[in-house]
Structure 1
């Protein structure tokens, strides 16, 4: 079944994207419970990488967004990922934006989504992570946190701190998502004044939580691909100032040049997949030049092949994450990327 994804894809693409998403994940869950999923999937060779004090079994991870609530952890882990990033989760449950809110653009190997941080709330997610066999066996799980849509942007820090407190004990690392285009004004947090205030609040909260739990959990920041060089350099400098452990580059783009004139190309939301590849790579190169390897970079955006994954590493990333490429290529992409990045 899994190895014939290219045969299944036309049928999946005939369904509403969000419906296909849930159907695919529920079937993966079933195959994992029956104990056959790992038999169907060619597993990547062990290729451990240590980043931020965490040993990743291989350098290919799942990007946030695919499993927002931690409902499919064991099935996704069985596909061969070296690590999983769950979320974005917010302090309170929220429904997200009205449907339809996800659109495929096959001609460009792209996806537009305006999901809007739809999730069951951070507490429900934490319960699911704890129950997963992957977490219980020591699997690497990052928790991606955000603010609720109803929280004013000037009060965003309180939501991030609340979510951070909830996930701190169970997370291998925590990602602060300030770059989704689908929550009003969220990207304003990438500006100097607001970002400085947010990072200061998170730094104090982490010091308090480190004392409480006796461990300092790595803190990552996820940024947009639509920043200019000055903005990127400013963010890089703030990461160093506030001792943020790594940066994830990048989230989805609001640019539409690559899909102009295509069906759904003008839909609102964040564009992912192949159209964001070059912008993501450029952000990674700019960060790498500014940071001089003082902070690791996790590369995500437009990885549709092993070659694309290698480009991220060559640009300066230490690890990579996949999402949209899985929709177009299926699980074989994980092993292909792992092989391309093999030592």
Structure 2
């Protein structure tokens, strides 16, 4: 038997409970992992609260990522005792996820845990931090360097934003952080942000083209925020878009793209090819100062996940939320 958060749905609606499950109930897969640590991401909170159509198969164990130790493997790529990490691949949406003491998944979804990281540190980074690194790699790939100019990070006090600020600052970029929580200014400057801007500067309808300001940007908001960010990019600036916290719409014009050569690059962490995700995790082990993880990480018990999900959706949680599940 093992503990798991379980989401069920029937004609009366959705229910979420902390349950005791039998190992025989685990879904198909060729690797069984004893989960050392999982996380609570924005997508998990949407699934748990039912405020977003994340879960596509019931019953479902949420949790889009986890780190742990292989207990049993029918695939030659892994053997018992291997430390592994999983991010995405529909886990927590169509396949049981990491908010449980055990998980059974496909071997091709796993990658080895970076030797420089503990399972708890890997989950302090989690899908949010891994996504942030994919954004940084995209800016680099499109030629944005520390000498190019200021780089903007929206939703900077959240999970993706916190890691993006910390990594970019360590790499020498001049980071400008956008947040709707002015009380987090000290936290963000501690991560390396040089300036803090209020979200209200970006949330109202703007001009098709604004003053050229940013060489690069990492956007987690979407919606009007993303439109205004694009409108104020420097010539040939690059925006890495990875979220929709501010909405799925994009009320913009083509002006930034055809008059300033702005690049808008989409970042998908769920189905990202294995080679690129391995590189992202290698870079995280190298380019993220482990000392900043404690400041951006909240630890909660599995039984507290449901309550904290509501606070996360309300934007009342700073940084990352991890859920330790064993002492591995």
* More helix by percentage: 1
Pick the structure with greater CA Rg: 2
TM-score normalised by structure 1 residue count: 0.30
* More strand by percentage: 2
TM-score normalised by structure 2 residue count: 0.31
